[in-house]
Structure 1
């Protein structure tokens, strides 16, 4: 599996986020250390996550309940 490059993010929920546009794969590392990959995520969702006033809130409301995922 090709790793997704993650970048640090200012959040009380998320530590790092990354996106692979070709695979439509969003990868998040939580502050707890858990890492999740969300499948078939449009690029606009990743951009909205980065632009959100609260990325943790956006993740919990718009990403987590709406996309299939796997824990790494």
Structure 2
């Protein structure tokens, strides 16, 4: 597993985000300590997420409902 952490950011809901390009796996950890894995997320989507000004808005509009997920 080759996790890549996202650049530092501030979010009221999201604590950390990391991505494994080899497995196309996106992991999101929330401030309440829950973690979710999103599967088959293309690298260009992960890169756009990393660069997004609002992580919460990007998550709601581009990730949720578009990719299979599992609570970890």
What TM-score bracket applies, with the shorter chain setting the length? 0.7 to 0.9
Structure 2 unaligned runs (5+)? none
Is 1:46 the counterpart of 2:46? The answer is yes
Structure 1 unaligned runs (5+)? none
Question: Could you give the per-residue CA deviations for residues 20-48 of structure 1, whole angstroms, max 9, x where no partner exists?
Answer: 00000000001221100000000111111
RMSD: 1.7
* Count of residues in Structure 1 that have an aligned counterpart in Structure 2: 71
The ranges of structure 1 where at least 4 consecutive aligned residues each deviate by more than 2 angstroms after the TM superposition are: 2-9
| Distance (whole Å) between structure 2 residues aligned to residue 58 and residue 19 of structure 1 | 15
TM-score of the aligned structures, taking structure 1 as reference length: 0.85
